[in-house]
Amino acid sequence: MCRLSRVNKAVAEVEALLLTTKLNIPPARPQMVPRPRLTERLQEGLNYNLILVSAPAGFGKTTLLSEWARHSQPIIWTAWVSLDEGDNDTVRFWDYFIAALKKPKSDIGEKILPWLHSSPPIPTESLLTALINEISSISFELILVLDDYHFIESQQIHDGITYLLEHMPAQMHLAIATRVDPPLALAHFRGRGTMLEIRADDLRLTWEDAASLFKELKTPRLSAKDVAALNGRTEGWVVGLKMAALAMRQQKDIQRFLTTFSGSRLYIMDYLMEEVLRQQTKEVKEFLLRSSVLNRLTAPLCDAVTGRKDSNEMLLLLERAQLFTMPLDESRQW
């Protein structure tokens, strides 16, 4: 077998091992509160190379970007990669990057993938130059979302992303969702006016957003003053408010709950987690504990680690109750 054939075979084997759900735009969550103010801001991002959505956990970064992506298509194509710790490997990172681009344009990166897997490796800048040239030839506008970018610690990958942003084709935009600012040349991009930033203060729920959320989650009836108090104590933190809504479902004394609901965000989360978990059955608590070793869940995986045979039903129950899980594909397999 010639060297090129061996490389192509190796590339095909690697592609078969890519987890396709990492390339899916997360499906719409039930009882989601629309954020038109923020989706309009994101629409402005089409005038920028980089859209940076940076905020701590639980501020709704992924939900916002996925909502925007669904509303933008098919006028604007959105490619998506959900990153994790394993993507610090440079070859694996660019494998997923190119695989995401293949969704809107199936032949993109065909010549580049063998170079990526060659030995010795081709310099990253040479690979990206070829990829940028291919992207420049597409006839439609494209957004590529890198979700959970905070998992990436490889300086080689950061340098590659910086190079890409420096030479980004006009029809492409890169959106990065992260819990911490990445070590990219942000001051440089900010100074050149090529970056749109959305941060925690932008993502905080307004009083109107909080009221809509409580209505969607069917919480006990709250006064405007109570909604304002909860929103103030959580500082508009999306997950904090959702946890508060879940905790209130079985509270007999809502006012007492509201009175004891105070403290810093860290203590609020501890308190709400305790309140929500206390309401669950022993069976649900045990399932959550045993399956918590998994970052991504499927029914067979959960059956294996919990010893159960009905994990599919349990996962569906958790999703319907909005208890610590979210689907990664439309068929609810992951």
Q: CA 83 to CA 226: how far, in whole Å?
A: 38
Q: How far is CA 36 from CA 42, 52, 88, 197, 320, in A?
A: 10, 18, 34, 17, 25
- Do both 48 and 191 map to the same domain? yes
- pLDDT category at 326 given cuts 50, 70, 90 is confident
Look at residue 290 and tell me if it is in a domain.
Answer: no
pLDDT higher than 90, residue 10: no
More confident of the two residues 322 and 40? 40
pLDDT higher than 60, residue 133: yes
- Do both 193 and 218 map to the same domain? no
- Do both 158 and 54 map to the same domain? yes
- Do both 97 and 224 map to the same domain? no
- Do both 180 and 211 map to the same domain? no
* CATH number of domain containing 93: 3.40.50.300
Percent of the chain predicted with pLDDT > 70: 91
- Do both 272 and 307 map to the same domain? no
pLDDT higher than 50, residue 7: no
Look at residue 152 and tell me if it is in a domain.
Answer: yes
Q: What is the mean pLDDT of the chain?
A: 87
114-128, 183-197, 266-280: range with lowest mean pLDDT: 266-280
User: Domain total for the chain?
Assistant: 3
Residue 141 has a pLDDT of 92
Q: Quick check: 138 and 102 in contact, CB under 8 A? A: no
- Do both 134 and 219 map to the same domain? no
Q: CA 51 to CA 332: how far, in whole Å?
A: 29
- Do both 63 and 160 map to the same domain? yes
- Do both 302 and 182 map to the same domain? no
Residue 317 has a pLDDT of 87
pLDDT higher than 70, residue 276: yes
pLDDT higher than 60, residue 265: no
Q: CA 181 to CA 178: how far, in whole Å?
A: 7
Residue 154 has a pLDDT of 97
Report, as an integer, the average pLDDT of 36-52: 93
Look at residue 21 and tell me if it is in a domain.
Answer: yes
Look at residue 287 and tell me if it is in a domain.
Answer: no
Report, as an integer, the average pLDDT of 61-69: 93
- Do both 180 and 317 map to the same domain? no
- The pTM (predicted TM-score) of the whole model is 0.82
Look at residue 179 and tell me if it is in a domain.
Answer: yes
Q: Which of 19-33, 152-166, 281-295 has the highest mean pLDDT?
A: 152-166
pLDDT higher than 80, residue 199: yes
Tens of pLDDT, residues 216-247: 888 888 889 989 988 888 888 888 888 888 87
- Do both 198 and 262 map to the same domain? no
**313: containing domain:** 295-334
Q: CA 123 to CA 205: how far, in whole Å?
A: 44
Look at residue 56 and tell me if it is in a domain.
Answer: yes
pLDDT higher than 90, residue 65: yes
Q: Quick check: 116 and 94 in contact, CB under 8 A? A: yes
Tokens of 311: 């994990």
Report, as an integer, the average pLDDT of 30-59: 89
Look at residue 236 and tell me if it is in a domain.
Answer: yes
pLDDT higher than 80, residue 263: no
- Do both 270 and 306 map to the same domain? no
Look at residue 317 and tell me if it is in a domain.
Answer: yes
What does the H/E/C string look like for the chain? CCHHHHHHHHHHHHHHHCCHHHHCCCCCCCCCCCCHHHHHHHHHHHHCCEEEEECCCCCCHHHHHHHHHHHHCCCCEEEEEECCHHHHCHHHHHHHHHHHHHCCCCCCCCCHHHHHCCCCCCCHHHHHHHHHHHHHCCCCCEEEEEECHHHCCCHHHHHHHHHHHHCCCCCEEEEEEECCCCCCCHHHHHHHCCEEEEEHHHHCCCHHHHHHHHHHCCCCCCCHHHHHHHHHHHCCCHHHHHHHHHHHCCCCCHHHHHHHCCCCHHHHHHHHHHHHHHCCCHHHHHHHHHHCCCCCCCHHHHHHHHCCCCHHHHHHHHHHCCCCCCCCCCCCCC
